[in-house]
Amino acid sequence: MKQQINLYQPIFRKQQIIFSAQTIAWLALGLLLLLVVWSLLISQRVGALERQLDNQRAAEQRVMAQIAELGQDQPDESDRIALEQEIERLNQRRTDLRQSLAAMHQRQPVADSRLHERYDALARQRPAGLWLTELRLDEQHGDIAMRGRALAARLLPAYLDALSSEPLISGTGFRQVRLYESVDEIPGVIFSISTAAETSR
């Protein structure tokens, strides 16, 4: 006696997932839109960095023209030192901009971008006759410590007031502001500003 057992079950049948042409078209369109938006964002960022680099070069040319004029007029030692400080800052700024621009061209993220923006904000509002000799930013705690020199004491309050217009600096409470008379041949004052309660001089 023979008995036939049917082991076939519909559940074991291989299922085929079929996408319609309309579904595939919508997926392709969505991917294309994402690529277009990404390209536009990258282009805008690169364009902004290129404009900043052009402005940087123009600023350097103005400083070099001032140096040439001051060289003809035999400037004071304090003016020469201030211009050298300005040139050094502009050179550093140009280097940072070129690195940021190169990173954007390679589609790579730029580390510490907000840190650079805060440096820029502190330097952008600096009035003529005041320059920074030391700047420390603590990103973890948000503390700011600055040292510098000014040809006149009145330039320091003007500088702090101008910083209030910077979004990244506005609302920052400077808990310590110190002024010292210059003890060398450079006229003016030496200042120290910090958001911390106590800093070592």
pTM of the model: 0.40
C-alpha 201/C-alpha 183 separation (Å) is 15
- Token pair, residue 199, equals 């800093």
Domains of the chain, by residue range, sit at: 19-111, 127-201
Which of 60-64, 130-134, 166-170: highest mean pLDDT?
A: 130-134
Are 100 and 119 spatial neighbours (Cβ–Cβ below 8 Å)?
Answer: no
pLDDT tens track for 71-97 = 665 556 677 788 888 888 888 877 777
The H or E element containing residue 134 is strand 130-138
CB contact burial 152-172 (16+ within 10 A = b; e otherwise):
eeebbeebeeebeebeebeeb
Matching CATH number, 127-201, of 2.40.50, 3.40.50, 3.30.1360, 1.10.3470: 3.30.1360
The Cβ-side half-sphere exposure at 146, using a 13 Å CA radius, reads 23
